[in-house]
Amino acid sequence: MTSHKAPRRMPNPAPLKKVLIAAGAYVIAIIFIFPYLQMIIAALRPREEQREALYLPSSFHWSAFTEFWSGGLAGNLLVTLEVAAGSTILVLLVALPAAYYSARHNFRGRMVFLFLVLITQMFQPTAMLVGIYREFAQFGMVDSVWSLILVNGGFNLAFAVWILHAYFASIPRELEEAAAMDGSGRFGVLFRVTLPLAMPGVVTALIFTFIAAWNEFVVALTLTTTPENQPLTVALNSYIGQYQVDWQSLFAGSVIATIPVIILFALIERKVVSGLTAGSIK
């Protein structure tokens, strides 16, 4: 009795649509990565070759990166970290209770409150620089890190409230009621049940506030006068002179300023995506 072997199935080739989508994704990724790559190459290019047409320099010089730390800009980087971290903490301390209360209680004027919060997002610090400067000058807070923390926190509060409100509203009330029946108090329910479930929304508000405060320039340029109190975004402006620009040092500082944000975003990217889609599906 003869046995017939089943014909071996060849793996199906990838559909053309998937190949095109993957190719398009790689092209878009290269387009977005190319400016950063150019910035790194310019930071390593010798100063005498900055104006040459060759893409790759004849040699790579690390002097701009070493001069960054020896030239005092490490202190400006620390100021930037203080402003970004302080603004983020301030926003979370105010936005968390405001968003939770507005999501769980149907009080009179709730929609008006949320609408007013949204309106504040329409105002930019640049349009109110004169008033902001005069207000902090009256309180003696010009050239202070605290003034930058308050301004950045205030102008990023609206986005955090709306993100957290949408996420708290998507969490079923039954979970909190079950925890309350098990003996948990109001704060126990909040910290043990609600906040762990709302962590993607909290992370989203955190990363967007941190990046916005980290990259802020105009308010910091207006409210700080001494070099040691200036964030890195303002300190890097010292490399731009009236007649020449120190491109190597400028790009080296820009690379160093970009690395912490990239690392932070890469670590919590998944939670940011889930936080942005909060409330879209019930």
Are residues 205 and 199 in contact, defined by beta-carbon separation less than 8 angstroms?
A: no
Does residue 8 fall inside a structural domain? no
Whole-model pTM: value is 0.79
Q: Read off the pLDDT of residues 21-57 as tens digits, 9 standing for 90 and up.
A: 888 888 998 898 888 888 888 888 887 777 776 777 7
Are residues 23 and 12 in contact, defined by beta-carbon separation less than 8 angstroms?
A: no
Structural domains in the chain (count): 2
Radius of gyration of the chain from its Cα atoms, rounded to whole angstroms: 25
Is residue 100 domain-shared with residue 36, that is, in the same domain?
no
Is residue 41 domain-shared with residue 78, that is, in the same domain?
no
Are residues 218 and 129 in contact, defined by beta-carbon separation less than 8 angstroms?
A: yes
Sign, CA dihedral 239-64-252-142, equals negative
Q: Read off the pLDDT of residues 90-127 as tens digits, 9 standing for 90 and up.
A: 999 999 988 888 888 777 777 787 777 777 777 777 78
* pLDDT value, residue 188: 75
Is residue 142 domain-shared with residue 209, that is, in the same domain?
yes
Domain range for 124? 72-276
Position 280 pLDDT exceeds 50: no
Worst-scoring range by mean pLDDT, 7-11, 140-144, 150-154? 7-11
Q: Give the CATH number for residue 194.
A: 1.10.3720.10
Q: What are the angstrom distances between the C-alpha of 253 and each of 33, 40, 74, 118, 166?
A: 18, 10, 10, 35, 38
